[in-house]
Amino acid sequence: MVDNADLQKTEDIEYLRHGEAALMLRLFMPAGAGPFPAVIDIHGGAWNKGNLEDCVDRDRVIAECGIAVAAIDFRHAGDGYLASMADINYAIRWLKAQGTELNIDADRMGICGQSSGGHLAMLTAMRPRDDRYCSIALNSVSPHPDASVRCVGMAWPVINPLSRYRHALRGRADPNPPGWIGDIPESHDRYWVTEDNMEEGNPMLALERGESVQTPPALWVQGAPDVVHDYLDPEGGRNINEPERFVENYRGAGGNIDLMYIDNAERATMLSFAPLAEFFKKHLIGHSE
């Protein structure tokens, strides 16, 4: 369907199947001739909830800049950490392999995500060739594309699952626990199962361990105030909140990252969509306004 002058169409496509369960992506295509650069977008929901519908408003804005966007569904919740990573890694490789058919430039691909989706986006970008994440074979083309991306855009990511888990547990131990905690600890337990997994699948701690990872250009858009994503980890060893701590680590590993603060009450608006769109224009098209 035609959405507006800058967006040619949207299309829902099955990209992977696990038994009877089909995983879908929603492809937002810009108007014009192409081939277009592309962004994979990963929804949030504490690794337990949400679906590709949650990405629509952001993805329309990015697509209107001349970039194809694929919002994806993936296994989460009780399927666990490695299942999500395998599906997302496969989605990138699948989209690259389908580049000619879909009018996408496989050499110009980025990744985006919000909240827990931001965590998954960064971890995917850091470890594109991890054997566990590449476990689903792609048999349609040769040579096989990998899951590397040119850039990463994050909206208030849960960049350190272990510290956020303990942050929520400390809050729950308060005589008057704050409402933001909700079912966060239970969501972590369901998805991650153990603290060891939260430590291993952790972009923050991967950098602090000195792990050899990819560090493509990145943008972190962070609402303020936001105690759910922007807090001090008392075990982190530095008197800075988690966003600043990650930025220091990422730059220390040779990566280029910007951290932008916006009004948290307006974060699900153009206040966050526009900077992400400009970031992807810069790194995938080569210019921004």
Is the pLDDT at 239 greater than 80, yes or no?
Answer: yes
For 51-86, how does the pLDDT look when each residue is reduced to its tens digit (9 = 90+)? 999 999 999 999 999 999 999 999 999 999 999 999
For residues 212 and 14, give the distance between their C-alpha atoms in angstroms, rounded to a whole number: 33
CATH superfamily, domain at 7-285 = Alpha/Beta hydrolase fold, catalytic domain (3.40.50.1820)
Q: Are 17 and 65 in contact (CB under 8 A)?
A: no
For 192-220, how does the pLDDT look when each residue is reduced to its tens digit (9 = 90+)? 999 999 999 999 999 999 999 999 999 99
Residue 49 DSSP class: S
Beta bridge partners of 222: 261
Q: Which pTM was predicted? A: 0.96
Side by side, the strands of the sheet bearing 218-224 are 7-18, 21-30, 68-72, 36-42, 104-114, 152-155, 218-224, 257-263
Closest CA to 225 of 192, 264, 199: 264
β 36-42/68-72 pair status: parallel
